């Protein structure tokens, strides 16, 4: 995201440095996101290796994630396809940087039933090429994803005139709206976020979470184009066999893509 393009004129440009440090942060006392590889037990009973992110996103987390993904220790690009999240939100700027990296590598994103994904974390979940919500014991979707409007530090916003505040806030919200579209998030969810004050939290319903489809639309079409086995099963697209075949094809495509990623 080109942050400088969000501000026009000398008055708004004057506040850019402050904006970078304070706006869109959920907490100024937060610690960096913890990045680690942990075992994940799927509802099928199978245990897999997962990249696990937890904590609150702060300045530098995008670089930290990039470094972790490219190192040889702790992360096996051939084995770790799952991404699990337990993130309290934080810097939208860092969230978007992390989301772009996660999308580039290709992951199956998941918010375990016992975890949460709040505020800007929704971009990390949406970054997955396959998105799997948390499920309870009855296999129903758990409402553990929360969203709200972007937080702008009051002590900064209070220094602006009415017109300056309007322009800046509109620019920020427009940028976030574009990010919702870029990561294939329904615009209805963006509207829900805009209707929720930054100091509150709107917990997405099971239906809201389900609207973040398992596959981004473009990846869904790519799977259909790449997986010949699905063509012969197209008369039963809602069957368990079709879903299993599709997920297998998706995993294969991600692994092929991973093999082409080269470290700098």
pLDDT digits (tens, 9 = 90+) for 42-56: 877 889 999 999 999
Q: Of 20-34, 133-147, 177-191, 195-209, which range is least confident? A: 20-34
Say whether pLDDT at 70 is over 80. Answer: yes
What pLDDT, on a 0 to 100 scale, did the predictor assign at position 16? 35
Under a CB-based contact definition with an 8 Å cutoff, are residues 38 and 204 in contact? no
pTM recorded for the entire structure: 0.87
- The answer to which of 10-19, 56-65, 165-174, 203-212 has the lowest mean pLDDT is 10-19
Of the listed ranges 1-10, 31-40, 94-103, 123-132, the least confidently predicted one is 1-10
Weakest mean pLDDT among 24-28, 73-77, 234-238: 24-28
Q: How far is CA 200 from CA 40, 137, 138, in A?
A: 31, 29, 29
DSSP state of 132: E
Q: Which phi and psi angles does 123 have, rounded to 5°? A: -70, -35
Query: For residue range 196-230, what is the model confidence (pLDDT) as tens digits?
Result: 999 999 999 999 999 999 999 999 999 999 998 88
Looking at the DSSP assignment, which residues form a beta bridge with residue 90? 57
- pLDDT of 12 reads 36
d(CA 101, CA 98): 5
DSSP symbol at 116: -
Q: Report d(CA 213, CA 210) in Å as an integer.
A: 6
Mean predicted confidence (pLDDT) in 99-110: 96
- Distance from chain centroid for Cα 18: 25
**Does position 25 have pLDDT exceeding 80, yes or no?**
no
* Cβ-based neighbours of 179, under 8 Å, separated by 6 or more: 1, 92, 96, 123
Report residue 23 as tokens. Answer: 């706006």
- Fold classified for 4-214: 2-enoyl-CoA Hydratase; Chain A, domain 1 (3.90.226)
């Amino acid at each position: 995201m080109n942050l400088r393009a969000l501000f026009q004129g000398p008055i708004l440009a004057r506040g850019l440095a402050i904006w970078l440090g304070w706006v869109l942060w959920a907490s100024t006392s937060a610690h960096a996101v913890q990045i680690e590889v942990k075992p994940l037990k799927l509802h099928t009973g199978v245990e897999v290796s997962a990249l696990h992110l937890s904590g609150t996103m702060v300045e530098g987390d995008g670089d930290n994630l990039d470094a972790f993904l490219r190192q040889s220790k702790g992360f096996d690009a051939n084995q770790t396809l799952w991404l699990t999240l337990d993130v309290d939100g934080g810097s939208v700027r860092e969230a978007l940087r992390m989301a772009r990296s996660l999308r580039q590598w290709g992951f199956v994103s998941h918010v375990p039933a016992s975890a949460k994904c709040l505020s800007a974390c929704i971009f990390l979940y949406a970054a997955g090429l396959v998105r799997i919500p948390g499920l309870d014991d009855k296999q129903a979707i758990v409402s553990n994803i929360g969203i709200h409007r972007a937080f702008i530090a009051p002590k900064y916003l209070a220094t602006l005139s009415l017109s300056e505040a309007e322009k800046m806030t509109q620019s920020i919200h427009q940028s976030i709206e574009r990010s919702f579209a870029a990561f294939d998030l329904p615009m209805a969810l963006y509207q829900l976020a805009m209707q929720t004050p930054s100091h509150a939290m709107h917990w997405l319903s099971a239906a809201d979470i389900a609207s973040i489809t398992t596959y981004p639309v473009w990846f869904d079409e790519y799977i259909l184009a790449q997986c010949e086995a699905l063509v012969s099963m197209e008369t039963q697209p809602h069957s368990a066999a079709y879903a299993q075949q599709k997920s297998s094809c998706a995993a294969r495509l991600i692994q092929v893509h991973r093999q082409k990623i080269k470290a700098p």
